[in-house]
Structure 1
Amino acid sequence: MNYPQISISMATYNGQEYLKEQIDSIFAQSNQDWQLLIRDDGSCDNTISIIEDYMAKFPDKIKLLTGKECHLGASLNFGQLLEYADTEYIMFSDQDDIWLPNKIELTLNIMKATEQLYPDRPVLVHTDLTVIDSDSRTIADSIWSYQKLFPEIGNSLNKITAQNVVTGCAMMINRKARAVSIPIPGEAIMHDWWIAIKVAKHGKIAYVSTPSILYRQHPGNKIGAKKAQKINILHFLTKLCRLKKLLSAQYKMVKKADPDANLLLLVLNKALIKIAQRCR
């Protein structure tokens, strides 16, 4: 048996509405050297039936992980998948997006080029995303512009701990990045942020300004793309005080990933990034 070069980790939960479109877009990829690993988090709709139909047609391409634990949430569900995946490269898939046909090929090319520059290092590659609505109509051509994100901050540990710019469904990591990222702890707000912090600390993050995915926003999204709002610094600081609980959770995650993290520096970088977004 020829083992695939790439594992695509898909976390599902009550995803029947868009799941077929998501899986079909993976099968339509120009690069077919992959296996789709799916872990369901306790769906009570037709998600499992849809997956089993695809498994019957493509038994060598799809594997459904079974386990007793359910309702872990997206971050820990992806964490379980990451611990199982054992290939040279790992990608992550939501259950409701559409991958553009060259997504794997594009990301893999940048991954290999980056690995040549940074051999034996953890590497993460991520791309821009086009935001669509529940009917696949375009909301924004670029999520980075839409949310006023700065992808270049990915290689600054102090800045990536302050704001995540890596979207899980648009990233690929190598085996060494997996090694420094597992296990994903309960303190992790989201798996992609945790992985980005760990890779920024130990390796290299590369980004591609070309969108590789149609990122769907609909009422059922756990975490989605919200348009950046114009706010002044006083409003931001006032809001920051109200969000003490969220900041506490963020700091716990950051401290778990980087014991040298400093709360004051974290808050300062969050403020500086917001100011930069305001001026963009």
Structure 2
Amino acid sequence: MSNENVAILMSTYNGEKYLEEQVKSIISQDYTDWHLYIRDDGSTDSTVNLIKKIARDNEKITFLNENKPKNLGVTGSFMDLLANTKAQYYMFSDQDDYWMEDKISATLRKMQASEIDHMPICVHSNLTVVDTNLHGDSLMNSSEEHWSDFKSMLFANCVTGCTMMINQELKNLLDFDKVKSNKLYVHDWWIALVAAAFGKVVYLDRSTILYRQHQGNVIGSNKKTTLFNKNEPFNGRVIRMVKITSDFWQAYGSKLTGQNKNYVKNYASLVQHRNPLWNLRIVLKYPPARATTTGNLVFGSIVVRDYQKLSRLG
């Protein structure tokens, strides 16, 4: 495997407690042709001073917004990092995990084995859920909890951002000027949707990181990612699914074809109609992917019940 330029994008927010340990795991990678870009999202603790020290001590680390602090939120911060860096491949890093020594090399091998004719590709992997002291051996995903087709990805995200690698061809499809990233729900779902629609989502069936779970996590992933997850209100997930579909239609509707276009167009239209029976007809005609018949009926009932909320999204 020849060396390729990998940009690692890390967003921080009040991350002083675990930041040095995470950076150490990146520095200790068996693959060395990487550069770490850190963007702070408005920390109020000593994170900024810590980043300055880390960047000063290692030429492979850049504090991207040292003189321009601004809170953009998690998604906005990662998308800003992606928009303002240049490499052949990009990886996303949380501030509090711990990377296995071969995370970059293993992911890059999977990426290069999947690249054909400059195809846009997103590679993601499994992860090990651990406690604050990095103890634990529970894998987040079972063999059935990952998928790669666009229709399934539209209804539920299975891609965890801190395990992702994307290539430059996929980044080229992300219209940073057209899409207001600070209004996107999550960057990993959005990027995975673009990859599934116009390229390929590839799963590396092994863990590449220790994913630390603690009270200060901005986004936790010890919960499942399916649409019918009981760990959070179902109607909220339906609303978010319709919102991201509406945004995707505005950004990429003209480029979609076939069944993918039909699904996105019709679910995006739910934000424009105030007739609950019309909304229910859409759900019955274009049933959610990866759902049971009971799940479809529940989904439809939520759309009918919350049609006024859906209309306000528009």
Same fold (TM over 0.5): yes
Deviation at 1:31, TM superposition (A): 0.5
Deviation at 1:180, TM superposition (A): 1.2
Any stretches of 5+ residues in structure 1 without a counterpart?
230-235, 276-280
**Distance in 2, Cα, partners of 1:34 & 1:56:** 17
Note if contact 1:187-1:256 (Cα within 8 Å) is conserved in structure 2.
no
1:271 counterpart residue number: 291
2:45 alignment partner, SS class: coil
CA 182–47 in structure 1, closer or farther in 2 if over 3 Å, else same = farther
2:188 counterpart of 1:168: no
Task: Tell me the percent identity.
Answer: 36
**Distance in 2, Cα, partners of 1:120 & 1:48:** 38
2:15 alignment partner, SS class: coil
Deviation at 1:71, TM superposition (A): 2.2
Deviation at 1:37, TM superposition (A): 0.6
- Letter in structure 2 aligned against 1:268: P
Matched residue pairs, number?
Answer: 257
CA 248–228 in structure 1, closer or farther in 2 if over 3 Å, else same = closer
2:280 counterpart residue number: none
2:128 counterpart residue number: 130
1:65 counterpart residue number: 64
1:96 alignment partner, SS class: coil
**Among residues 115, 135, 140, which one is paired with 1:143 in the alignment?**
140
Question: Larger Cα Rg: Structure 1 or Structure 2?
Answer: 2
Which is worse superposed, 15-24 or 260-269?
260-269
2:11 counterpart residue number: 11
Runs of 4+ in 1 over 6 A off after TM superposition: none
1:144 alignment partner, SS class: coil
Which is worse superposed, 181-190 or 199-208?
181-190
Note if contact 1:187-1:249 (Cα within 8 Å) is conserved in structure 2.
no
TM-score between both structures, scaled by the size of structure 1: 0.84
Deviation at 1:96, TM superposition (A): 0.2
**1:146-225, aligned counterparts within 5 Å?**
150-151=145-146, 153-154=147-148, 156-183=149-176, 185-225=181-221
Deviation at 1:69, TM superposition (A): 5.7
Deviation at 1:244, TM superposition (A): 3.3
Offset from partner CA, 1:34-54 (integer Å, 9 cap, x none): 110111011011111111111
Note if contact 1:149-1:165 (Cα within 8 Å) is conserved in structure 2.
no
**Distance in 1, Cα, partners of 2:169 & 2:99:** 25
Offset from partner CA, 1:148-197 (integer Å, 9 cap, x none): 7522x22x111011111111110100001111124253442111000000
**Distance in 2, Cα, partners of 1:135 & 1:32:** 26
**Distance in 2, Cα, partners of 1:160 & 1:257:** 12
2:238 counterpart residue number: 247
1:128 alignment partner, SS class: strand
CA 38–149 in structure 1, closer or farther in 2 if over 3 Å, else same = farther
